[in-house]
Amino acid sequence: MTTEMASGQTSMIGLDDERLARASLTYLAEPSDQRLGVLTETYGAAPVLAGIRTGTLPGPPAPPGPARDAERKSLERWQSRLGELPTQEGLERLCRDGIRLVCPGDAEWPARLDDLGAARPYALWLRGRADLRFSCLRSMSIVGSRAASAYGSYMACELAAGVAGQGWTVVSGAAYGVDGAAHSSALNAEGTTVAVLACGVDMPYPAGHKDLLDAIASHGVVASEWPPGRNPTRLRFLVRNRVIAALSPGTLVVEAGERSGALNTARYARDLGRTLMAVPGPVTSGQSRGCHTIIRDWGGTLVTSAGEAVEDVSRISDQPGETPVTPETGPVLPRDQLDPESATVLDALPVRGGLGTTDVAVKAGLPPADVLRLLGGLAAGGFAERCERGWRIRRT
């Protein structure tokens, strides 16, 4: 698989053994399995997959007793799913449906996920036109209650629009309530947005967000650790949350009741050393209780505007394994690493004044829809910025 697959132009036939093995592991094991993570990082995915097939995992066996029993149970669980592995035909069909696989080390792999250590995803399944790593360079995770109040939905929209308007990608979980409001609002602001699901990227879940998920795929990325076809479960939502927290340098909780899953995401963000932020609300609203806990007890900062959120996230000096977020000082990637289409769009932008999307498209000789997507990536990468009169090159 090559990076061109991001544009859906290549097939999955090119998967080498290691990448095919990582794809297989997403079918056999639940993500964040520490034992499997350590094995894969130590011996590689292909030997581990072979070990699952033969019943003998690489490396020294656990000492007899409870540890070996647990090892045996894991192995049996993984083996029980061998029948679910897709055929070559099945993989090709996924590819035709616009679904691609990204593995650690790929150009599109977001290096921030490596902060998860042995719990980093075996691989990610993606659907959508944007480049995941590129989109997440300047991103903010905006999450919150499914049972959002009118206030929570309003704040999610306001903040996501503001964050997207500053060229930042909005990462969220595509749930009803705050998540959905954040994604929609980022899209309305012509920003890039990334949805991280707890089910296959082909699954319309939640059902009422089918159109939203398609819109996200058209302008951003839908991502999942689970292979296509998998249903979400309560546990999967919680496991998924660590990816939402890891993908961005900062997580902003808009509304969260005391038992909200958003608090789970917030805890991951804190434990990963990410910037943790929360929106205050009335003390009398149960939906703001989790936000107040984050600010009062978890060291989260209180955020009332997109500007403050961007300011807080930008304060991070550097992220292990990732280029520092320095929104005021230009690109976070060298220009020569841009794909040819992005470079063409960048060349079409003025230094002063501004140019509307249509004019940029004409100048670059590319379809306007593509140009809009590429501009979003260029903004996230710090190359371009929106101004009153349209788009222009970001001054460094």
Site for a copy of itself (CB under 8 A): which residue of 229, 280, 327, 350?
Answer: 280
- Stretch of 110-118, 163-171, 273-281, 325-333 lying at the interface with a copy of itself (CB under 8 A): 273-281
Q: Which amino acid is at 61?
A: P
- Stretch of 138-146, 176-184, 256-264, 274-282 lying at the interface with a copy of itself (CB under 8 A): 274-282
* Site string (55-84) toward a copy of itself, x via CB under 8 A: ------------------------------
Site for a copy of itself (CB under 8 A): which residue of 6, 95, 279, 345?
Answer: 279
333: how many CB neighbours lie within 10 A of its CB?
A: 15
Q: How far apart are CA 238 and CA 221, in angstroms?
A: 20
Closest approach, Cβ 155 to a copy of itself, in A, equals 6
Q: How far apart are CA 173 and CA 12, in angstroms?
A: 26
Regarding 182 and contact with a copy of itself (CB under 8 A), the answer is: no
278: how many CB neighbours lie within 10 A of its CB?
A: 28
Closest approach, Cβ 277 to a copy of itself, in A, equals 10
Closest approach, Cβ 279 to a copy of itself, in A, equals 6
Size of the site for a copy of itself (CB under 8 A): 20
* Site string (284-313) toward a copy of itself, x via CB under 8 A: x---xx--x--xx----xxxxx--x-----
Q: How far apart are CA 392 and CA 349, in angstroms?
A: 5
Q: Which two tokens stand for residue 107?
A: 């150009």
Closest approach, Cβ 293 to a copy of itself, in A, equals 9
Closest approach, Cβ 308 to a copy of itself, in A, equals 7
Q: Are 32 and 119 in contact (CB under 8 A)?
A: yes
> What backbone torsions phi and psi does residue 176 show, to the nearest 5 degrees?
-65, 165
Q: How far apart are CA 363 and CA 361, in angstroms?
A: 5
Nearer residue to a copy of itself within complex by CB, 5 or 161: 161
Closest approach, Cβ 306 to a copy of itself, in A, equals 11
355: nearest Cα among 343, 339, 341, 371 = 371
Nearer residue to a copy of itself within complex by CB, 190 or 308: 308
According to DSSP, residue 337 is labeled G
Nearer residue to a copy of itself within complex by CB, 129 or 292: 292
Nearer residue to a copy of itself within complex by CB, 282 or 356: 282
Inter-CA distances, 104 with 22, 133, 242, Å: 9, 11, 16
Which of positions 127-156 make contact with a copy of itself (CB under 8 A)? 151, 154-155
Q: Which two tokens stand for residue 255?
A: 């509304």
Q: How far apart are CA 232 and CA 237, in angstroms?
A: 7
Judging by beta carbons within 10 Å of its beta carbon (0-12, 13-18, 19+), is residue 382 exposed, middle or buried? Answer: buried
Closest approach, Cβ 145 to a copy of itself, in A, equals 15
Closest approach, Cβ 21 to a copy of itself, in A, equals 48
Q: Which parts of 48-103 are beta strand (E)?
A: 99-102
Q: How far apart are CA 181 and CA 189, in angstroms?
A: 12
Closest approach, Cβ 158 to a copy of itself, in A, equals 8
Q: Are 97 and 126 in contact (CB under 8 A)?
A: no
Site for a copy of itself (CB under 8 A): which residue of 282, 307, 321, 324?
Answer: 282
Residues lying near a copy of itself in the complex (CB under 8 A): 151, 154-155, 279-284, 288-289, 292, 295-296, 301-305, 308
